[in-house]
Amino acid sequence: MPPECQLFGTLGCHLCELAEDVLMPLVDHGLMVELIDITDPEDLTEAYGLRIPVLRRIDTGAELDWPFDADQVVAFLR
Closest CA to 52 of 18, 20, 10: 10
What averages of pLDDT result for each successive group of 10 residues across the chain (78 residues)? Answer: 92 97 96 95 91 97 98 97
Closest CA to 73 of 23, 32, 35: 23
- Give me the pLDDT at residue 64, please: 98
- Give me the pLDDT at residue 40, please: 82
Closest CA to 56 of 1, 2, 6: 6
What pTM was estimated for this model as a whole?
A: 0.94
